[in-house]
Amino acid sequence: MTNTLHRFGAAETFDDDFIVFASPSTGRNDVGSIPKLKKFLEMALPYNPVNIGDPVHGGAVRPKRGLNTSANWKRDARPDFRAVIDGINEPASVVAIFDNAKAAGEFLAEVVEADLGLSVNISASVEGAQQCCKMAGIPRHSVGYSLGFEGKTEKLPNTQVLTLSTMCGHGMISASLAKKMIDWVKEGRRTPEEAVTYLTRFCSCGVFNPHRAKHILEEARSRME
């Protein structure tokens, strides 16, 4: 899973994007990992994550089946962190997303202390991750660099769309929907907050950063690309 590695943007644009995740490894430490994964996310909550999730059930804002027509006017868009934690029922990577280095670093320090025995990674700018490690007082073990997109890059959408859509590295947020949301915000048909909620529901593992998305949409509103 490299679904957080190839987010589009320059390093300085990731200053509100810190993804901390815990991963069990199949056959090595997956037995008995479910309570540890839940504990990892429980520990994240006091640091005010902007999203949490797991790849089996999704993030804290999810699509719903069987809505009634009133959903078109009144719909609950609040993140449900409790549902994410309670729903974990198989060993898989869980994520907590923070919009600042301080929260991510302090959370990481608490994770070190808890000694869960699971692999823990930070996906952020290279320097941002180093900053978190320093705050937690631990050295980095391994690092995986993103070299960005190559090949037939002419097939890619514009950078505003790309910045939004690549926040779901699994590709579940389509470029067309990201473009539509930018257009709707520009037209004043929806607020950035509403547009962010629509997009967040399509991310199937919870790595989408709604804080960063709102910022991108607000910026796109006043800038044509």
Asked if residue 157 binds other proteins (CB under 8 A), the reply is: yes
Asked whether 95 and 20 are in contact (CB, 8 A), the reply is yes
Residues numbered 120-149 forming contacts with other proteins, rule: CB under 8 A = 120-126, 129-130, 133, 136, 138-149
Asked whether 218 and 160 are in contact (CB, 8 A), the reply is no
Residue of 35, 67, 86, 89 that binds other proteins (CB under 8 A): 67
| Alpha-carbon gap, residue 216 to 86, rounded angstroms | 31
Nearest approach, Cβ of 79 to other proteins (angstroms)? 16
Residues numbered 37-66 forming contacts with other proteins, rule: CB under 8 A = 55-56, 63-66
| Alpha-carbon gap, residue 123 to 29, rounded angstroms | 21
Please, what is the Cα angle at 61 between 69 and 63, to 5 degrees? 40
Asked whether 38 and 116 are in contact (CB, 8 A), the reply is no
Residue of 106, 172, 193, 218 that binds other proteins (CB under 8 A): 172
Asked if residue 6 binds other proteins (CB under 8 A), the reply is: yes
Place of tokens 């890619």: 156
Asked if residue 191 binds other proteins (CB under 8 A), the reply is: no
Residues numbered 96-125 forming contacts with other proteins, rule: CB under 8 A = 108, 111-112, 115-125
| Alpha-carbon gap, residue 145 to 208, rounded angstroms | 20
- The smaller minimum CB distance to other proteins, of residues 45 and 56, is found at 56
- The smaller minimum CB distance to other proteins, of residues 10 and 224, is found at 10
Asked if residue 222 binds other proteins (CB under 8 A), the reply is: no
